[in-house]
Structure 1
């Protein structure tokens, strides 16, 4: 037919234009196209000016008045993701498969108004609380998963995280967070410090997630994946947003305003955001919250090839911490109890304040080398401080050259103030226990006035401060440089590479905050037995310090990292596959500023430079026999350096390194079946991860070391191996135009796979020598942990829920979430030979193996179910959008434990046996409880 038309045109020789148009049409008909349409999910009306982007190439088009779009030039082949976005609607990502010389037609794409509010709802809650926490119990990767397309990962972030669920039982240092291509994970513990950008939700919406081992365009990534948060003003449309929020979770009020100029004709674009979050206390008693957030970014799109951007982030925050407690304390005071605060002049004052002030400055250069290649070069500088305050009650005076003094422990939940202590020590006179219980119920908080009175009375005698408030400070200065190359070699092959450099100087010290009316504090160790050992700094003996001075310890960490990765992705009609290789070189050094009296020979000056070389290789294959059924398989093997936190056994006092320290090794594999039907999407995954040669360090006071000795120790667990085996299922079904159902299941088993080595270090004094320590070090051999469960939140979690969206733009959803197989963190010391050994090195003569097995049985917490509700409404008023949404979590007010740990105080069989024989153990395990019923409400105006 087309040939006949050409003949007619030539014979008539009149309509050359018609011939040209038909030739163009013919060439198109033999090409590769993507065409489709976008409609409102509720009204089913077409939506104009929707941005459609092919994520792998960044090609973009907009829908016309009929909601229709088409890609016709340089359409990439294989599995692609279409990013569908418009202001006032939720951004969606649609997976498609493009075959050569075929047309992909998708006219069933829908956008839903204000669905992003659901994502924001949980992002706010998580980033302001759990993700800010500095305890491993609160560690998760929810901030990584909120941008996921996958229903399982969204549910893990939104529904499971309040129970401190960990994806695959893994720590969040197995994930990588980047902002504008710059890695934000800390050298110290490998985790991102989420509070560094807390409150900036509006400018964090543009996220690119690479889940699990899937390839990333920016870095090699961790085994839990990576996310790049893009904060480029040129990629945000003009407009603003004003938000007010109220909650009883971490803060009580939030105000936020954001404005974006959009890309101007001059090539300039800017974006600003300011937020404040505050509250006298959240759900836990005495947990004050005070945080401000400032963001500014300017970008100049110079031409089609070059763009320059400058970004500044400043989010100072102060928040009061809450305490883990024994069951005895919870039974007396309830799950909201927090021992860290007390009344002062009619206000609640928390002794444990975490303050984070770490601004970030970024410079970014984006260079489109040609239509196929782009180079992104970044420079970032982060500086500031993290402070964690606490009370000191060991202030002393020098009497004839010997330190004397010290005060009573001000903790209201100190074991010697609780009824169980008096029941144990005075079993024949329970009046003492009754009196302790009565006093604890009446007050049970820090007595700030007593601290002032004690210091004032000692000052009248010419003495120093007995009590002081100080903070453990970390002042980091970090420079990051990197270059990222993305190159589309042809329609089938994409090449990614980067090289990164990071350099850190970290000052670590204690600083006096408040002397409670005293004029000075004697900077020595009050527990030492001679004057030299007592000196925190032999270079400044018997030094008197005032508020604002450094004391106790002072040292620097120096760290440097260079890493690179190369990745190649292959995309074809029926199969995609990739392979990536990464190499890194890391150096650490500790420089002591103080010469510690307990370790005079190896605490001062430059320490040994440690060098670690790591590498990683990963690959994956996606098989797509038809677009509705997909098989995905991935595997990786990596080695990485230990974190600074787990490299030095007692960095505050000396340069000692963990024995036999070397790189941590990880091998992992997963396989998934993915179902994509018009109304049902599902994914079933099985995985296995093996981690080897890991280390942990903890600090505690132990009774029963080498017999009946009591020593403050650093516990080093070295050469840890763990297994992580499990399966994941996520399914969602759009059963009607307004109702969606979802179901998720995570079934895992996370265990110790070996018996790691156990070492203890402590002060080299008479007490430690009596306990068998040599120069403050003792090798306890193996800790018999094999087959014990990891304290990684619930090993099994299930969720079912629904969501209703009305044509009048209101919505409502509910979920029921079940959690099982949550375990306490066991004490390695009680699983070592120390548990069975008396002071003479021989086994206890009264050791009962059956009773010991019962004492060492790992506690499993009760199963529990939590029901959550969420809903909202949006209105369009002129060219503005007004929205309201709210959520209620744990609507049935279920009481449940989320985690806990065995105290290491009872280190041997006799100590643990005698304590557990009591009706209420004195040194019982400590727990965290989940919140009862909480709410979050949000009102916003978008213009």
Structure 2
């Protein structure tokens, strides 16, 4: 495969019938190339095990914003490092962001690239006719069939990415003399083995639309969906990548009867439909009303175990460094000759065979068959986590052009969402039985027969068969309403837009199982949490003459918390988190633009401050020997930086682009901490007292999974139908997701004791303050990446043929980290007994990482007629 890719790169210099793209995603001329609309999976947010909140924003007048989303997508770049919830996505003026998480997953429009070309973009302080733009910008897709380019379009693609083959066909009639318009598109993406070994891809996409225009009215209906089955890639530590001699080692698959099987399979289908009525009241006034419905079905499988050893091949106890301490030479328990011999044995086992580094499915079946003979429950099984939702939204937007210099917009939205979260038994792996009980709770205090061990007291000790629900089952109801308005005016060389919005959000949990740990507080509905939110925004610019423009924007917003962060332990009980409040968000920006015949320059500086920010996580905490649900509230965050975009027109056929940003995105205080043990429902945190009091030191932690420094130099040639682009991109300051557990005060004390016993520096100084640098966040390595494309548009007697070759990471730099996370386990044991023994394996020095793919590419052939 690598040899073929090298040949493909060479072919970039001599392919006679290729076609590429110089326009950015935001330009919509019919000459725009397929490349601009070929989103990568990073952009589409399709991989839940990797950073998925990539933001795509655009503006035709801003060189930086119009190109940064696509150029930096291989590094999973996020605009200004903002979470995707701050990037709002619309269809026909109706908001599509998920009501529970606040985010929009671009995979919902994956595979219908041709239908997403009609799009309006609004940067944070740009005026627009469909919304108050989000802090990370807003996108509005026009899914009306009459707006689609007339004709037929057939695209065939080959790639070595998540999928290897793609086909798309689109047909748009345009608006007929009788006022009818029809649109249809179908696409298919497939791979039996993706770029990462053990992964596959199988996705069908469709779009159907009809529109009728009569008089000054228009009725349109569009429906689309993207049923997808795909397997995923797992992160790994540098030790594991070294052992496998492969930075794309994937621990999620293994051999079963000689065939590859992945344990993490995602099934994702969100059929959606929108009905839109456009009423052109007069030449200056328009009313657009839309009704949207979606039923999303999302399922993700996972291999799990019960009263047995962890079957994951990269589990820390299976690694050589768990036997011999490679970090601390005073850890004498793990620096013996026997420990070193065990290291060698483990190393040789890992290197001996690829099968030794993967899941042994046959062994799991064998273990379950043995336990069947003893009448026991499954030792190994595959579970499926479901996150489904039903959404209904009504939206209406009123646009009025008062005169040539004044414009007024009004909008309202009301929507409801039912999120359905539950777990099912996907595969018992040959076992005969499994009971719906919490085996993790079994101890001196509780037995398997204790009512506290039941996941559902309404069906005690239920036997779980394949397809049955177990563990947890609950719904989250969210209702939202919003009223907004904006007013724009031109006064000579001065233009301004003022906008405001007010909204209402309510949320409620409805438990479908009566958990034994919360017998009176888990089944049925919780009370409602209700929030009023809103905000004001001002954007302005002044034309100074001579091509100089200065802009200024500021906004302040009260933002309701997301329901996904609102419940303390949603899998267990109905409790809301402590101290849940509206986020308070200030955002400001100053910009400068200059344009003449050979230069277009944008320079922007921004600052955003957030207070009352909340976060929610769950992981295993060794110090309390329990899986815990963690809530962080009262956080303060700051985002600031400088952005530069410049386009130099060296000749009519040759441009040079310079894009870059240096930014910061960090927490500026120590959050308020609350966490609950899943084995006892015991609460710990800042709100607690006595032995249950705890706090977190997370001040200074950065937002992860995106480079905070990114630079690009691009060369663009376009003449006689040829388009050649070459971009050199540099990424730096890539932080990994930090572990809250590593920064709990109580855990820090425990670690101090364990480290002191070995004679190593402690985390706290003599006054009890954390030593600077002792809790620094893990980072990933940045670096340089070269990307390019070449192509040509060939005009035929009937239609045109476009051929385009895009190659990413031409120099095959595989050392750039695109994301990852610190481990949440503790590097010591014996807390309960007071021994505080340091383990041989160091969790804090072994974060999990994802690395940028090596040389990869896509060849597109498109026939338009």
TM exceeding 0.5: yes
What does residue 337 of structure 2 align with?
Answer: 428
Which one of 240, 246, 251 corresponds to residue 339 of structure 1? Answer: 251
CA distance, structure 2, for counterparts of residue 627 and residue 514 of structure 1: 69
**Does structure 1 residue 751 correspond to structure 2 residue 673?**
no
Counterparts in 2 of 1:742-781, with a 5 A limit? 742-763=657-678, 765=680, 780-781=693-694
What does residue 860 of structure 2 align with?
Answer: 938
**Does structure 1 residue 900 correspond to structure 2 residue 820?**
yes
Contact 2:24/2:36, CA 8 A, preserved across alignment: no
Give 5+ residue unaligned stretches, structure 1. Answer: 1-87, 95-110, 395-405
Q: Secondary structure at the match of 2:501?
A: strand
Can you list the C-alpha shifts for 1:793-847, whole angstroms capped at 9, x where unaligned?
211111111111122x112111111112222333233334214435999998987
Q: Aligned-pair RMSD on alpha carbons?
A: 2.9
What does residue 118 of structure 1 align with?
Answer: 35
What is the TM-score of this pair, normalised by structure 2?
Answer: 0.89
Q: Secondary structure at the match of 1:821?
A: strand
Which one of 78, 90, 113 corresponds to residue 201 of structure 1? Answer: 113
Give how far 1:869 is off: 1.2
Which one of 361, 376, 392 corresponds to residue 304 of structure 2? Answer: 392
CA distance, structure 2, for counterparts of residue 871 and residue 199 of structure 1: 22
Q: 1:655 to 1:446 in 2, by over 3 A?
A: same
**Does structure 1 residue 134 correspond to structure 2 residue 43?**
no
Can you list the C-alpha shifts for 1:482-514, whole angstroms capped at 9, x where unaligned?
101111111111001110011011221101111
Can you list the C-alpha shifts for 1:501-543, whole angstroms capped at 9, x where unaligned?
1101122110111112233321111112332121010110110
CA distance, structure 2, for counterparts of residue 484 and residue 136 of structure 1: 36
Counterparts in 2 of 1:736-747, with a 5 A limit? 736-747=651-662
Q: 1:366 to 1:779 in 2, by over 3 A?
A: farther
Q: Secondary structure at the match of 2:34?
A: helix
Which one of 471, 492, 515 corresponds to residue 405 of structure 2? Answer: 492
Q: Secondary structure at the match of 2:518?
A: coil
Counterparts in 2 of 1:603-642, with a 5 A limit? 603-626=522-545, 628-642=547-561
Q: Secondary structure at the match of 2:324?
A: helix
Q: 1:364 to 1:585 in 2, by over 3 A?
A: same
Q: Higher mean Cα deviation, 156-165 or 503-512?
A: 156-165
Which one of 561, 568, 575 corresponds to residue 480 of structure 2? Answer: 561
What does residue 316 of structure 1 align with?
Answer: 227
Q: 1:480 to 1:821 in 2, by over 3 A?
A: same
CA distance, structure 1, for counterparts of residue 699 and residue 414 of structure 2: 38
What does residue 222 of structure 1 align with?
Answer: 134
Q: 1:209 to 1:439 in 2, by over 3 A?
A: same
Give how far 1:645 is off: 1.2
Which one of 309, 315, 322 corresponds to residue 414 of structure 1? Answer: 315
CA distance, structure 1, for counterparts of residue 163 and residue 863 of structure 2: 21
Contact 2:778/2:847, CA 8 A, preserved across alignment: no
Which one of 374, 398, 403 corresponds to residue 286 of structure 2? Answer: 374
Q: Secondary structure at the match of 2:513?
A: coil
Q: Secondary structure at the match of 2:787?
A: strand
What does residue 13 of structure 2 align with?
Answer: none
Counterparts in 2 of 1:217-616, with a 5 A limit? 217-303=129-215, 305-333=216-244, 334-394=246-306, 406-424=307-325, 427-429=336-338, 430-441=340-351, 442=353, 443-529=356-442, 530=446, 531-616=450-535
Give how far 1:859 is off: 3.3
CA distance, structure 1, for counterparts of residue 826 and residue 385 of structure 2: 28
Give how far 1:232 is off: 1.1
Give how far 1:286 is off: 1.5
**Does structure 1 residue 733 correspond to structure 2 residue 648?**
yes
What does residue 43 of structure 1 align with?
Answer: none
Q: 1:437 to 1:694 in 2, by over 3 A?
A: same
Q: Secondary structure at the match of 1:457?
A: helix
CA distance, structure 2, for counterparts of residue 249 and residue 816 of structure 1: 20
Which one of 809, 820, 825 corresponds to residue 890 of structure 1? Answer: 809
CA distance, structure 2, for counterparts of residue 140 and residue 865 of structure 1: 20
What is the TM-score of this pair, normalised by structure 1?
Answer: 0.82
Q: Higher mean Cα deviation, 783-792 or 839-848?
A: 839-848
Contact 1:245/1:255, CA 8 A, preserved across alignment: yes
Which one of 89, 94, 106 corresponds to residue 177 of structure 1? Answer: 89
Contact 1:780/1:833, CA 8 A, preserved across alignment: no
CA distance, structure 2, for counterparts of residue 166 and residue 91 of structure 1: 17
Q: Secondary structure at the match of 1:822?
A: strand
CA distance, structure 2, for counterparts of residue 514 and residue 377 of structure 1: 46
Q: 1:92 to 1:338 in 2, by over 3 A?
A: closer
Q: 1:773 to 1:93 in 2, by over 3 A?
A: closer
Q: Secondary structure at the match of 2:337?
A: coil
What does residue 62 of structure 1 align with?
Answer: none
Can you list the C-alpha shifts for 1:453-499, whole angstroms capped at 9, x where unaligned?
12222222333322221211122111110101111111111001110
Contact 1:824/1:860, CA 8 A, preserved across alignment: yes
CA distance, structure 2, for counterparts of residue 606 and residue 352 of structure 1: 32
What does residue 6 of structure 2 align with?
Answer: none
Q: 1:756 to 1:89 in 2, by over 3 A?
A: closer
Q: 1:237 to 1:527 in 2, by over 3 A?
A: closer
Contact 1:759/1:777, CA 8 A, preserved across alignment: no
Q: 1:942 to 1:838 in 2, by over 3 A?
A: closer
Q: Secondary structure at the match of 1:439?
A: helix
What does residue 593 of structure 2 align with?
Answer: 674
Q: 1:91 to 1:920 in 2, by over 3 A?
A: closer
CA distance, structure 1, for counterparts of residue 670 and residue 698 of structure 2: 5
What does residue 31 of structure 1 align with?
Answer: none
Give how far 1:907 is off: 7.6
Give how far 1:374 is off: 0.3
Q: 1:475 to 1:921 in 2, by over 3 A?
A: closer
Q: Secondary structure at the match of 1:342?
A: strand
Contact 2:658/2:712, CA 8 A, preserved across alignment: yes
Q: Secondary structure at the match of 2:73?
A: helix
Which one of 537, 557, 565 corresponds to residue 646 of structure 1? Answer: 565
Contact 1:316/1:355, CA 8 A, preserved across alignment: yes
What does residue 187 of structure 1 align with?
Answer: 99
CA distance, structure 1, for counterparts of residue 588 and residue 497 of structure 2: 14
CA distance, structure 2, for counterparts of residue 93 and residue 838 of structure 1: 53
Which one of 840, 846, 850 corresponds to residue 928 of structure 1? Answer: 850
Work out the number of aligned pairs and report it. 815
CA distance, structure 2, for counterparts of residue 511 and residue 266 of structure 1: 52
Give how far 1:407 is off: 2.4
Q: 1:757 to 1:91 in 2, by over 3 A?
A: closer
Q: 1:293 to 1:140 in 2, by over 3 A?
A: same
Give how far 1:573 is off: 2.9
Q: Secondary structure at the match of 2:348?
A: helix
Give how far 1:736 is off: 0.6
What does residue 856 of structure 1 align with?
Answer: 775
Q: 1:933 to 1:790 in 2, by over 3 A?
A: same
CA distance, structure 2, for counterparts of residue 249 and residue 749 of structure 1: 31
Can you list the C-alpha shifts for 1:430-470, whole angstroms capped at 9, x where unaligned?
33222222223322111111222122222223333222212
CA distance, structure 2, for counterparts of residue 915 and residue 736 of structure 1: 69
CA distance, structure 2, for counterparts of residue 701 and residue 787 of structure 1: 24
Give how far 1:870 is off: 0.9
What does residue 796 of structure 1 align with?
Answer: 709
Can you list the C-alpha shifts for 1:759-781, whole angstroms capped at 9, x where unaligned?
22113539x69x99999998655
